[in-house]
A and B are shown apart, each in its own frame.
Chain A
Amino acid sequence: MLTKLVQLAHCRSGDKGNTSNISVIAYHPEFYAPIKEQLSAEKFKNFYSGVIKGNVTRYNLDDLQMLNFVCEGALGGGVSRSLCLDNYGKSLSSRILSFKIDIDDNLEQLLQ
């Protein structure tokens, strides 16, 4: 079944210069594998089309069931230069929560 990431994982974004890092943390260990398999760095970048201008690198922390997406060129030139009202990009992580992931039907009862 297709489900939005918001029911599978929670996120937080942080800023450094013009780079935003967005963590994706599975609510249950069972959700981690399908997220890791389906949410590649490339798909992540495409989902932020127009906002992330540089490379996206994904780091995997399998033991903790979480991913870290490091997004270069995502903060409009950096916190002090950005014309975006949310110049720290604190709200950027919420975007990925609408990404759709295909999960096994029997995981439905675990959905957040």
Chain B
Amino acid sequence: MTIRIGSGSAWWGDRISPAKENADKGQLDYLCFETMAEATISAAQVRKRRDPIFPGYDTWLDDRMTAVLPGCIKNKTKIISNQGWINPNGAAERIVYWLRAMGVHGVKVAAINGSLITDDVLNLTDNILETGERTQALKNRIVSAEVYQGAEPIVQALKNGAQIVVTGRIADPSIFAAPMMFEYGWGMNDFMRLGLANGIGHLMECGAQVTGGYFADPGFKDIPRPWDLGFPIAEVDNDGTAIITKLEGTGGVINAMTIKEQLLYEVHDPYNYITPDVVVDFSTTRIREVAENRVMVSGISGKPRTPTLKVSIGCEEGFIGEDMFFYAGEGALQRAKLAESILRERFKLVELKAEELRIDYLGLNAIHGDMTPEVDHEPYEVAVRVAARTTTREEAMKIGREVDGMAVSGVGMTGKRVPHQDRTREIIGVWSSLIDRSKISPSIKMFES
């Protein structure tokens, strides 16, 4: 027996057409969606405060679901998705709406709640992992706190007969591990298989990053048809091996190199990669190219899970103001440098209070900053990019206001954008803590189309 698990997205902004292709042609048992970054939940909470009609789930939910539901219903493919963000019930209801609109009735949709602990987080946690300070120090600044849940509630929802499971915050690999655990009956004490399941989940959670995305480097790592990358499909056997592959005819490549790059992506200690379900050991991984775009992955192992779950705490931490303007042609860099000195003086005149101020020259040092080697040529173009971190929005707005001043009161031959409104943004800082697992009780709500 083999189960086929396909990727439908790796993040909120991901492409949708490869998900539809996987749904239509992948002969999948499961299609899994990962749509969150570290700050997604906090950002959703901030938006909800300002915009009460924001439903609180993936803003692309309609587009994603209308693209894949026809194929998934036709092929009896189950869907597991973390598009619920801060409102899994609302997301489930919306999916039911689309199913009924397609004339599909009797499909069970489960919403998994219980990861949001904003009101209780200070009582349930002790220290901030990054700083060692007490989480109490974050009091009054907390926007959201959520627990990374594991695969268990998804497995339970599948046991309840759900064909579609939509969740809030769940550890990314668990989204993919859950179907393996459900289909093969792997228990929570089967560390080796849970290690494999979460290891494969880790390879799949970033979608095209294992099929040639975030990979190509001309002359060193060239890939076919990079504009048409397919999303990955894992064929998982009960004996603990998986083939990572993709649809025939799609662009990109799956080989030992793409697997290795993704294996360590966002991993710190590869011998102890902590997930809610298991501690994964990647050091024992065996990788074998068995055919074109088919790589066998086996041997990923696991150790017992930790007694705690990770909590993400999003906090208000001030604002960033930023803008940019441009020079080109003869003497561009010299004009950029004069512009920088004018701006620095003007920031003194307007008494800019910044925690940090950064002025970069795009094309020269904006990306690698202080470690950029000296260049020995005059760039033809330079963009001057100005950014500051401040405690208030009023201070952050001074960046854009002073860049506006460069239009008429600046340097000769200055190119500038039309003043725009999104030159300030709120910072939601994310901190981590740990919570006793027994304090968290997920709940499942069932809906039916």
- Is the beta-carbon distance between B220 and A10 smaller than 8 angstroms? yes
Query: B388 near A: Cβ within 8 Å?
Result: yes
B133 at the interface (CB under 8 A from A): no
* Interface membership of A2, Cβ < 8 A: no
Could you say which residues of chain B place their CB within 8 Å of the CB of A90? 214
Which residues of A have CB within 8 Å of B371? 47-51, 95
Taking a contact as CB atoms under 8 Å apart, the answer to whether A85 and B385 are in contact is yes
Q: B145 → chain A, closest Cβ, in Å?
A: 15
Tell me, rounded to whole Å, the shortest Cβ–Cβ distance linking A71 to chain B: 10
Contact of A63 among B37, B283, B369, B370 (CB under 8 A): B283
Contact of A10 with B367 in the complex, beta carbons under 8 Å: no
Given contacts A59-B271, A91-B367, contact A12 B432 (CB under 8 A): no
A87–B369 Cα distance when bound, in Å, is: 12
Determine, out of B243-251, B259-267, B415-423, the stretch whose residues face the partner at the interface: B259-267
Given the known inter-chain contacts A59-B269, A61-B283, A91-B368, please indicate yes or no for A80 contacting B261, CB distance below 8 A.
no
Complex-state Cα separation, A95 to B263, whole angstroms: 20
Residue B387 interfacial (CB < 8 Å) = yes
* Contact call B39/A80, Cβ cutoff below 8 A: yes
Decide if A6 is an interface residue (CB 8 Å cutoff): yes
Q: Is the CB of B266 within 8 A of A15?
A: yes
Q: Given A10-B220, A81-B317, does the pair A66, B387 have CB atoms closer than 8 Å? A: no
* Chain B 404-438 near chain A by CB (<8 Å), digits 1 or 0: 00000000000000000000000111101000000
Question: Any chain A CB within 8 A of the CB of B16?
Answer: no
B270 touching A83, Cβ below 8 Å: no
Q: Are A51 and B38 in contact (CB under 8 A)?
A: no
Give the CA-CA distance A48 to B356 in the complex, in Å: 20
Within 8 A of B (CB), among A36-81: 47-51, 57, 59, 61, 63-64, 66, 68, 70, 78-81
CA distance in complex: A25, B39 (Å):
30
Q: Which residue of A lies closest to B362 (CB)?
A: A85
**In contact, B130 and A18 (Cβ under 8 angstroms):** yes
- Chain A residue with the shortest CB-CB distance to B271: A59
| A47 CA to B263 CA, complexed, in Å | 24
A25 to B287, CA, bound (A): 14
| Alpha-carbon distance A20/B257, docked complex (angstroms) | 20
Pick the contact of B257: A25, A68, A78, A79 (CB < 8 A). A25
Using Cβ atoms and an 8 Å threshold, which residues of chain A touch B130? 17-18
Are B385's CB and A79's CB within 8 A? no
- Would you give the 0/1 interface string for B86-101, flagging 1 where the beta carbon is closer than 8 Å to chain A? 0000000000000000
Which residues of B sit under 8 angstroms from A3, Cβ to Cβ?
none
**Given known contacts A61-B283, A84-B367, A91-B368, what 12 new A-B pairs fall within 8 Å (CB)?**
A10-B257, A12-B264, A21-B264, A23-B260, A25-B257, A61-B270, A64-B263, A79-B37, A81-B427, A85-B362, A86-B367, A112-B220
- Listed in ascending order, the chain A residues whose CB lies under 8 Å from chain B are 6-7, 10-12, 14-19, 21, 23, 25, 27, 47-51, 57, 59, 61, 63-64, 66, 68, 70, 78-81, 83-86, 90-92, 95, 112
- List of 5 A-B pairs having minimum Cβ-Cβ separation, nearest first: A50-B370, A14-B266, A23-B264, A12-B261, A83-B358
